[in-house]
Chain A
């Protein structure tokens, strides 16, 4: 065997353990989930009887409570993901730009923005539940109490208890988005800060020498250079929000009228409380497909780019 071929073999063997593990624990399990999703397994005892796409039909186009709930879930997840990603990216970029201005005490600010990532969702969920609990007129709680003390009564509202919706968007999602963004903005801040730091000073100085204002410099030079970061942040944030479970489950649960329900919660409850294993599996497959729809184009795009380079 030539030296080069031997080396390629060693390279392959080096990644083989990971390949095998992923093959079993990811793809094997996806396969199992798909099989269950196409079966009528209901109850503790496994039942792999084939029923085709019945579970999917029931979830997506059925007439009962299940389909009503799932439709709400899909819309909730759409709006949650969208607003959460926007919030994290905008806030992260803003904070990174601020921190990049040669700030005294940058370390302290950075630690404060970063460390929510260090705390478990299960804990922060409870804290945010208290913070956004609206209370009643006679006994205000949380943020509403704070707003009242500041004289801003007009800003009080029901937060996650509010069942109104603007079209398919349930406003009760807003506090959940705030809580999630709080937890993960530190990540985008760190990414953007590193990105900003990697832009050479010469580039900025040259722009200033050419007479560009700070804002124009940011708009024309810096932001475009941060695009790859934005893209990869969106992917990371996107897949977290599409799968989200712990935070919402602990903070608000499904909510009255399912206003804060997400597929992750539905899947957990229907599988482990209702014992509807095939329905839970179908929800998982749909979740996986929505994630794939977002992620696969990105993977293809980034590979094309690499091949070009």
Chain B
């Protein structure tokens, strides 16, 4: 290679590198911060990157933009299932002292035992008080949001965990009615097995799904008050009701599709849609799935509370909190005020497919299932959900998930019960 060519090669390489870096540089410049008053920009961190969640978030952002036209919303989203990667990203950021203005977090112990305990959050009780929200939110919800006498996040929505969805045609063909108790469920399951239909569709490639089904069984055996006691140490994990719940879970596993660990929850729901399976126990985001493939609630699919849990509402909630050191605190508070308002929640929830956390939502905006959920929410006993961050800390949830992973494979009730009890101890709640 001649000298000139070599020089040309090297200088063009260097030039390309510099130009590329320079082109990228403007995008990397930090946005200007404007202190005081809802102006400037706010960075909202969530994992709502696609689907109904992203759409709902957009709708709510538009309401915000109408209220505060001078504030720019930076939508910092990181996808990853139920936020596992988002949480990793958030954790590294918060530890580095680089908090967003607000971030999405499950209401309850996921927030409290992760961020509040680490002294990274400001209480938002004052926002509730200033806006007279304490009468509008059910006391059960306020309880989930609170710790140490303060409220720590503003819930945008409520989802229900303990719902049994079923294919109406399959039930009709087999002369079945929606089961009310666990015995009804097992009777129906036997009938379906005889007819060659999978009674319960399960898609537990995500380990949380096992916990999801299990918590309905726990509730059926314990009742709402004792169930709540599981999470504050007043109910014994080594007790007979927990044993019974585990035994029922082992029994349930005899009625599920053999390929459950290869399916996600929505692929399992698809089995119900196709009539390969009759029922599935899943949160009410399943309704969003059924509707996305063209079904209508109460027409092709029906819904009842999980067997044995009528009168109780296992809740989970997406909420937003106020981190300490939020760069634009006033903007963050404005955002939180919107999240907790009727206008914000009625903009978000109909699109997302959940119900408002407030009791004064506009019913006409919601479909027939969501309306029934709203009714139940207002009247039922409220129980916090385990896999969805309300009932227990993340460390506890992962330990419970590990126990479930082993249990679903070996169906060893005693080992699972010991492991679950140990998880409570390790979480610092049980003795």
Interface set of A (CB-CB < 8 Å, partner B): 42-46, 64-66, 68-69, 129, 132-139, 141, 158-161, 163, 252-259, 268-276
B84 x A273 contact (CB < 8 A)? yes
B261 CB contacts on chain A under 8 angstroms:
160-161, 255-256
Smallest CB separation, B253 vs chain A (Å): 10
If the complex has contacts A65-B403, A136-B257, are A253 and B276 also in contact, measured as CB distance less than 8 A? no
26 of the cross-chain contacts (CB-CB < 8 Å) are A43-B113, A43-B117, A43-B118, A44-B114, A64-B419, A68-B406, A134-B262, A136-B257, A139-B271, A159-B262, A160-B261, A161-B261, A163-B409, A254-B405, A256-B261, A256-B405, A258-B409, A259-B409, A269-B84, A269-B398, A272-B84, A272-B87, A272-B91, A273-B87, A275-B393, A275-B395
A133 x B263 contact (CB < 8 A)? yes
Q: Verify if B223 is at the interface (C-beta below 8 Å from A).
A: no
Q: Verify if B52 is at the interface (C-beta below 8 Å from A).
A: no
Q: Verify if B363 is at the interface (C-beta below 8 Å from A).
A: no
A269 CB contacts on chain B under 8 angstroms:
84, 398
- Picked from A159, A257, A274, the residue with its CB within 8 Å of the CB of B405 is A257
A253 x B118 contact (CB < 8 A)? no
If the complex has contacts A64-B422, A129-B262, are A139 and B276 also in contact, measured as CB distance less than 8 A? yes
Smallest CB separation, A308 vs chain B (Å): 35
B window 255-280: CB within 8 A of A: 257-263, 271, 274, 276
Smallest CB separation, A239 vs chain B (Å): 23
A257 to B399, CA, bound (A): 14
B window 372-417: CB within 8 A of A: 393-395, 397-399, 402-403, 405-406, 408-410
Q: Which of A66, A253, A259, A272 has the most CB of B within 10 A?
A: A272
A134 CB contacts on chain B under 8 angstroms:
258-259, 262
A31 to B34, CA, bound (A): 40
B262 x A160 contact (CB < 8 A)? yes
B288 CB contacts on chain A under 8 angstroms:
none
A139 to B262, CA, bound (A): 13
If the complex has contacts A161-B261, A253-B207, are A65 and B402 also in contact, measured as CB distance less than 8 A? yes
A268 to B115, CA, bound (A): 19
- Picked from A44, A65, A253, A256, the residue with its CB within 8 Å of the CB of B115 is A44
Smallest CB separation, A187 vs chain B (Å): 26
A66 x B394 contact (CB < 8 A)? no
A129 to B205, CA, bound (A): 10
If the complex has contacts A43-B117, A43-B118, A273-B84, are A161 and B259 also in contact, measured as CB distance less than 8 A? yes
A256 CB contacts on chain B under 8 angstroms:
204, 260-261, 405, 408-409
Q: Verify if B206 is at the interface (C-beta below 8 Å from A).
A: yes
A275 x B262 contact (CB < 8 A)? no
If the complex has contacts A257-B408, A274-B398, are A45 and B118 also in contact, measured as CB distance less than 8 A? yes
Nearest to A254 among chain B residues (CB) is B405
